[in-house]
Structure 1
Amino acid sequence: MNTYKGKLNKIREEKRITQSELAVAAGVPQPYISRFDKSEQHNIKNLFAVANALNLKIDELFEPVETPESK
């Protein structure tokens, strides 16, 4: 089974956008942005909103994590 972790903080830093700015652009609560990378479950509506605000595909918001089972 593949495991993924969020990489929104990394993307935000590259695009030089704050959590608050992204929250406004995506129309989601700022705490959602703050917890994004630590969360294991996401609201699909919020995922689309964040990805659209950053001009990305949803899968670009995550990166695979190697686990013993995935080797």
Structure 2
Amino acid sequence: MNTFGSRLRHARKLRGLTQQQLARIAGLSQSAVGNYESDQRHSSRALIALASALNIDPRWLDSGRGTPPGSQQPPPLKEPETTYAAESWQATQLWPFPSIDPASLSALSQADRQILESLVRTFIEACAKRHGSR
């Protein structure tokens, strides 16, 4: 696994995902994932989204350094149930915000993602109260 593409393919297969499934989870196209795996493209922006989607160390994916997948990683991802807790989500609805690039969310720090999660949860709770759902 000397290249970004070979490491990406290895991690995707280790997680039991197709290129299409990984693309949806990472917010990319299947052809982009295919190009990355064949080393025809390399993008630092996509690197973060792919590493996040695969739950792997982005340093390992980029350079081969860091923690390789499988050494202490969670079980393989499944789509869409383990990607989102709500069972009603369909594969075509994995990313509900068409005006927001999923990679921009992946680029946020853990602290910023926690703040965002808290804001969204508060908004949903307020909407539920306003509509009498809770």
For 1:23 and 1:54, the matched residues in 2 are separated by 11
The residue that corresponds to 1:68 in the other structure is none
- TM-score between both structures, scaled by the size of structure 1: 0.69
The residue that corresponds to 2:57 in the other structure is 57
Are 1:17 and 2:48 matched, yes or no?
Answer: no
Gaps of 5+ in 1: 65-71
As a proportion of its length, which structure holds more strand? Answer: 1
Are 1:42 and 2:42 matched, yes or no?
Answer: yes
> Could you tell me whether the CA contact under 8 Å between 1:5 and 1:38 is conserved in 2?
no
2:47 aligned partner, one-letter code: L
> Could you tell me whether the CA contact under 8 Å between 2:19 and 2:30 is conserved in 1?
yes
- TM-score between both structures, scaled by the size of structure 2: 0.40
Work out the number of aligned pairs and report it. 61
Moved over 2 A (4+): 37-41
As a proportion of its length, which structure holds more helix? Answer: 1
When the two chains are superposed, the root-mean-square deviation of aligned CA atoms in Å is 2.1
| Alpha-carbon offset, residue 13 of structure 1 | 1.3
For 1:41 and 1:29, the matched residues in 2 are separated by 13
> Could you tell me whether the CA contact under 8 Å between 1:23 and 1:29 is conserved in 2?
yes
2:13 aligned partner, one-letter code: E
Tell which structure's C-alpha radius of gyration is larger.
2
Higher relative contact order (CA 8 A, sep 6+): 1
| Alpha-carbon offset, residue 63 of structure 1 | 3.3
Gaps of 5+ in 2: 66-134
